[in-house]
Amino acid sequence: MGYIAARGGTAAILNAEVLVEHYRLRGDTPPLTLGQVQHQLRHAVGRAMHEGALYAPQLAALAVKQAEGDSIEASFLLRAYRATLPRVMATLPAQGRSMQCARRISAAFRDIPGGQLLGPSTDYQIRLLRAALARECDEDIARIATLVEGFAATHAGPDVGHFPKVVDHLRAHQMVVPVPAAVDDAEPFDITRQALQFPCPRSARLQALAQADTGSLLTYAYSSVRGYGDAHPTLAELRYGHLPVAVAHPVDGSPVWIGELEATECETVSKAHSVRAGDAAPRFHLGYGFTVGQGEVKAISMAILDSVLTQVRSGGLSGESGPAADEEFVLLHSDGIEASGFTAHYKLPHYVTFEADLQVLERAKRHAAANAGGRLGRALAAAFAADALTEGTTADA
């Protein structure tokens, strides 16, 4: 081992780690249990899982605790852990129609086969802060449990929670585009095994959207429905619940149930005029959204973007398509872990590149001064003078 100039890099990093722990704990409150995080901060846990692209509720609770509630940091911790795991096998395709639904709504029809099930939703809550939560106690927990037991008693039966899909009804009546025959047997693209290349298959798009940052998808989807685009989605169905997952038995190929995911699934249909002229029969386009956890805004945003991107490719959009219709733009900029990592990397030392920048600046200044006689030269000189005022350290450096 050679000399290493001791200038405190290592010590500073180690001290910073201690300070982070101190800031997390200095409020002198009991440590959070993972169970509390997993169950009482379930949306934070869900978001860590869908953006971290790993379904592991306990590990996600740990990540949320360790990240002190920062959603991108929590998903980053999970994503980094995922990279250390081998991919053992792929599950069989999971069908949304097999979901045990806790919630299921459609905006397209007043009544749908199976009916609307509002389930756990804040949609129609009056968003007033409830001060009583500050004094919550075991009696409150017991009271809610009793009320919910009452719901269960009136909804007993083996089929509770299993609903037909609205999209099946739409397909049966030739209202939406049929399932493309070729896709059924194709092995989906896996962006954890191959870099995205453009144009990309729809399976790659859906995978990228499913692990994207919720806020980014929301922004793109919102731009597309607000006016920078031509998306006119109708929510065919949104369902939330538990989705059974199976793998093929390695010897005989039969499906083996291995567990279930808490998940949200969404389908949107687009406005009729967006169907390409000249097609055999006008149909709605379909958009598909899926997240683990109850990530409804993300699932809807994803479905809108999927629909927009599909329509761009088929030439189905009319008018200005907007920034959200550029697949490469949307997919390459919506991963929260990549975007936040790169944005934060400007905190790293850049004094080598900055030194090189300074030399180019000096050279450009000399060039401008040499050309100061001409009209262009005068304009440039004025511009550099203004720069110099704002860059006081340049002269010192």
Backbone φ and ψ for 235, nearest 5 degrees, come out as -80, 105
Least distance in angstroms from the C-beta of 193 to another protein: 5
Burial 48-84 (b: 16+ CB within 10 A, else e): bbbbbbbbbbebbbbbbbbbeebbbbbbbbbbebbee
Interaction mask 17-36, another protein, x per CB under 8 A: -----------------x--
Of 283, 35, 22, 322, residue with least CA distance to 171: 283
Q: Find the binding residues for another protein in span 221-240 (CB under 8 A).
A: none
Complete DSSP assignment for 161-230? T----HHHHHHHTT-BPPPPGGGTTSPPP-TTTS---SS--HHHHHHHHHTS-HHHHHHHHHHHHHTSS-
Q: Pick from 43, 249, 273, 350: which binds another protein (CB under 8 A)?
A: 350
The smaller minimum CB distance to another protein, of residues 124 and 342, is found at 342
Beta bridge partners of 255: 248
Distances (CA, A) of 395 to 64, 110, 202, 359, 361: 46, 71, 54, 11, 11
Q: Find the binding residues for another protein in span 182-221 (CB under 8 A).
A: 190-199
Q: Hey, what are 141's tokens?
A: 């927990």
- Asked if 337 interacts with another protein (CB under 8 A), we say yes
CA distance 239 to 271: 21
- For the chain, the first-to-last Cα distance in angstroms comes to 34
Least distance in angstroms from the C-beta of 4 to another protein: 5
Burial 211-250 (b: 16+ CB within 10 A, else e): bbbbbbbbbbbbbbbeebbbbbbebbbbbbbbbebbeeee
The smaller minimum CB distance to another protein, of residues 252 and 396, is found at 396
The smaller minimum CB distance to another protein, of residues 53 and 235, is found at 53
- Choose the stretch contacting another protein; rule: CB under 8 A; options: 100-108, 280-288, 304-312, 343-351: 343-351
Max distance between CA atoms of the chain, in angstroms, equals: 90
The smaller minimum CB distance to another protein, of residues 142 and 186, is found at 186
Q: Compute how many residues bind another protein; rule: CB under 8 A.
A: 66
E strands in 63-118: 100-105
Of 153, 338, 300, 138, residue with least CA distance to 218: 300
CA distance 13 to 9: 6
Q: Find the binding residues for another protein in span 119-178 (CB under 8 A).
A: none
Q: Pick from 13, 126, 137, 280: which binds another protein (CB under 8 A)?
A: 13
Q: Hey, what are 52's tokens?
A: 């971290």
- Asked if 82 interacts with another protein (CB under 8 A), we say yes
Q: Pick from 15, 33, 58, 95: which binds another protein (CB under 8 A)?
A: 58
Least distance in angstroms from the C-beta of 304 to another protein: 23
The smaller minimum CB distance to another protein, of residues 110 and 193, is found at 193
The smaller minimum CB distance to another protein, of residues 89 and 126, is found at 89
The smaller minimum CB distance to another protein, of residues 168 and 328, is found at 328
The smaller minimum CB distance to another protein, of residues 117 and 200, is found at 200
- Asked if 374 interacts with another protein (CB under 8 A), we say no
Q: Pick from 12, 145, 179, 183: which binds another protein (CB under 8 A)?
A: 12
- Asked if 113 interacts with another protein (CB under 8 A), we say no
Which residues form the interface with another protein (CB under 8 A)? 1-10, 12-13, 34, 58, 62, 76-77, 79-87, 190-199, 328, 332, 337-338, 340-345, 348-353, 355-357, 359-360, 363-364, 366-368, 370-371, 396-397
